């Protein structure tokens, strides 16, 4: 076996957290004999400073040539006055486009040890383990739009939503495949009572479901789903939805999770996929060695699961993170009286010991 991983640390805490995740990957590699190798590339403000562009061609090529991309974070006020077309954030949009990243997966799993960090009551949050599968490159964000026109004597603007059957089919299959690896339940979220795109979405998802007799399919309207996430989040396994609804529900679900430093994500592409924590570059704590690397470490576990199909190695990482928390270790963002305070390097070591 041998796998090539492109590592893009990016800006701010990006280097600290990706260094930590690579250390953990090396540890599971030792144990499972995966044969991982790493190529480091620049993106974001760091790349802009060196090369005058937030996304050098060389970075794109390296990503395409690898089995998976581990991404830290980009951005920071240092680049606030840069030409908008060259801002650090453009790197992630460019990668999305160049790698055809059509789906965003956001798991929300609340470790027993972290239940108290959620704004919801502990009894509602305990056991939450869901993943939102959001369509990422279609829908209303990418349809025809008009910034301003005159219509019947008034100024108006419009955005057009459209989805094609192949687009919905592809994301639905991903959701069902994901559910097969999990608890076998898909909730498809739409607004089929008012939107034509949602009715096509619902029909297409139902068709895909026929090929997955072992996976249960439910449909929910987005307004109801938003409410259910707040009152009974444990009911969900895999939620699949379009770009706009997914954007909103992903953030709502992240709040249920409670601690931003803990949360991983995957952006699935037609060939290479990209894995990154959901938080930003945290310029306020960059360089201090205190960032919580768990979101990035759990993103690396997702890379093992979804790109390399190394489920046992992925589970080993997730279990080690859980164990580190259960044993009372906390980075400063999660620290409270009575717990063992650990900086980035120390928590990495604690996790590696538990692999
Ligand atoms: P964006 O890049 O999306 O604009 P932002 O600047 O709003 O993001 P972040 O960079 O994620 O947000 O930071 C928000 C807050 O959370 C900051 O105070 C930051 O220090 C903290 N934070 C984010 N990630 C981590 C982490 N991994 N460990 C500790 N604290 C974190
Ligand atoms: Mg930021």
What is the residue-wise DSSP string for 244-274? HHHHHHHHHHHHHH--GGG-EEEEEESS--E
Mutate to test the pocket of ligand 1, among 10, 72, 77, 260 (most ligand atoms within 8 A of CB): 260
Q: Which residue has the tokens 């928390």?
A: 325
77 a catalytic residue: no
Q: To which H or E segment does residue 56 belong? A: none
pLDDT averaged over 10-residue windows placed end to end, the chain, 355 residues: 96 98 98 98 98 98 98 96 95 95 96 90 95 97 96 98 98 97 97 98 98 98 98 98 97 90 96 96 97 98 97 97 96 94 98 98
Q: Are 274 and 97 in contact (CB under 8 A)?
A: no
191 a catalytic residue: yes
Calpha distance 147→168 (Å, rounded): 27
Instruction: Determine the atom of ligand 1 nearest the C-alpha atom of 75.
Output: 2
223 a catalytic residue: yes
Calpha distance 234→28 (Å, rounded): 30
Q: Are 128 and 107 in contact (CB under 8 A)?
A: no
**Catalytic residue (one of 129, 247, 322, 333):** 247
Going by C-alpha positions, the residue among 338, 337, 348 that lies closest to residue 290 is 348
Beta bridge partner(s), residue 187: 218, 239
Is 286 annotated as a binding-site member? Answer: yes
What residues line ligand 1, using a CB cutoff of 6 Å?
A: 75, 260-261, 279-282, 284-285, 291-292, 295, 333
Going by C-alpha positions, the residue among 280, 350, 290 that lies closest to residue 321 is 350
What is the number of the ligand closest to the CA of 76? Answer: 2
- Tokens in use for 2? 């041998």
Q: How many Cβ atoms from other residues are within 10 Å of residue 305's Cβ?
A: 22
> Which residue, by CA, sits nearest to atom 2 of ligand 1?
280
Give the environment of ion ligand 2: residues with CB less than 5 A. 75, 280
**What's the CA-to-centroid distance between 19 and ligand 1, angstroms?**
18
Beta bridge partner(s), residue 185: 216
> Which residue, by CA, sits nearest to atom 16 of ligand 1?
282
- What's residue 259's pLDDT? 86
**SS3 state of residue 243:** helix
**What's the CA-to-centroid distance between 15 and ligand 2, angstroms?**
15
Calpha distance 152→138 (Å, rounded): 30
> Which residue, by CA, sits nearest to atom 3 of ligand 1?
280
Q: Are 91 and 55 in contact (CB under 8 A)?
A: yes
What is the number of the ligand closest to the CA of 333? Answer: 1
Instruction: Determine the atom of ligand 1 nearest the C-alpha atom of 293.
Output: 27
- What's residue 258's pLDDT? 83
Is 247 annotated as a binding-site member? Answer: yes
**What's the CA-to-centroid distance between 262 and ligand 2, angstroms?**
16
**What's the CA-to-centroid distance between 107 and ligand 2, angstroms?**
21
Q: How far is CA 292 from CA 182, 330, 345, in A?
A: 26, 9, 10
Q: Structure pTM?
A: 0.94
What is the number of the ligand closest to the CA of 299? Answer: 1
Is 129 annotated as a binding-site member? Answer: no
49 a catalytic residue: no
Calpha distance 120→349 (Å, rounded): 31
**Catalytic residue (one of 38, 40, 117, 141):** 141
**What's the CA-to-centroid distance between 279 and ligand 1, angstroms?**
5
Dihedrals phi, psi of 172, to nearest 5 degrees? -65, -45
Cα 188–chain centre separation: 18
Torsion region of 95: left, alpha or beta (phi above 0 gives left; psi -120 to 50 gives alpha): alpha
**Catalytic residue (one of 191, 212, 237, 329):** 191
- Tokens in use for 342? 């650990």
Q: In sequence order, what are the residues at sequence separation of 6 or more whose Cβ sits closer than 8 angstroms to the Cβ of residue 45?
A: 10, 11, 54, 74, 75, 76, 78, 79, 82, 88
Calpha distance 251→265 (Å, rounded): 12
- What's residue 1's pLDDT? 79
Identify each DSSP E strand in 117-199 by its residue range.
Answer: 129-135, 145-151, 154-159, 185-190
Q: Are 186 and 217 in contact (CB under 8 A)?
A: yes
Number of H helices, E strands in the chain: 12, 14
Which domains occur in the chain, in start order? Answer: 1-110+258-355 (3.40.718.10), 130-227+238-245 (3.40.50)
């Amino acid at each position: 076996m041998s796998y090539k991983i492109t590592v893009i640390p990016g800006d701010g805490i990006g280097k600290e957290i990706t260094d930590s995740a690579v250390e953990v990957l090396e540890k599971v590699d030792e144990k499972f004999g995966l044969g991982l190798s790493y190529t480091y590339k620049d993106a974001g403000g760091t790349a802009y400073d060196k090369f005058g562009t937030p996304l050098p061609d060389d970075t794109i090529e390296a990503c395409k040539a690898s089995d998976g991309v581990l991404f830290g974070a980009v951005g920071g006020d240092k680049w606030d006055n840069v030409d908008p077309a060259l801002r650090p954030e453009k790197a992630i949009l460019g990668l999305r486009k160049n790698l055809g990243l059509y789906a965003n997966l956001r798991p929300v799993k609340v470790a027993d040890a972290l239940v108290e960090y959620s704004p919801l009551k502990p009894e509602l949050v305990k056991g939450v383990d869901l993943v939102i599968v959001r369509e990422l490159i279609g829908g209303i964000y990418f349809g025809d739009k008009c910034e301003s026109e005159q219509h019947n004597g008034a100024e108006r603007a419009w955005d057009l939503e459209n989805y094609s059957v192949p687009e919905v089919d592809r994301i639905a299959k991903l959701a069902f495949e994901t559910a097969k690896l999990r608890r076998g339940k898909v909730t498809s979220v739409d607004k089929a009572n008012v939107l034509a795109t949602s009715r096509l979405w619902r029909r297409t998802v139902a068709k895909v479901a026929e090929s997955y007799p072992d996976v249960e399919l439910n449909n929910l309207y987005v307004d109801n789903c938003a409410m259910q996430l707040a009152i009974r989040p444990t009911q969900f396994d895999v939620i699949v939805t379009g770009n706009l609804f997914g954007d909103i529900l992903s953030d709502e679900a992240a709040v249920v999770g409670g601690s931003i430093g803990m949360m991983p994500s995957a952006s699935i592409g037609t060939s290479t996929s990209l894995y990154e924590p959901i938080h930003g570059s945290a310029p306020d704590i960059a360089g201090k060695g205190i960032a919580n690397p768990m979101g990035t470490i759990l993103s690396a576990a997702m890379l093992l699961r979804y790109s390399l199909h190394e489920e046992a190695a992925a589970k080993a990482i997730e279990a080690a993170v859980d164990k580190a928390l259960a044993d009372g270790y906390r980075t400063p963002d999660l620290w409270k009286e009575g717990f063992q305070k650990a900086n980035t390097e120390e928590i990495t070591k604690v996790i590696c010991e538990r692999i």
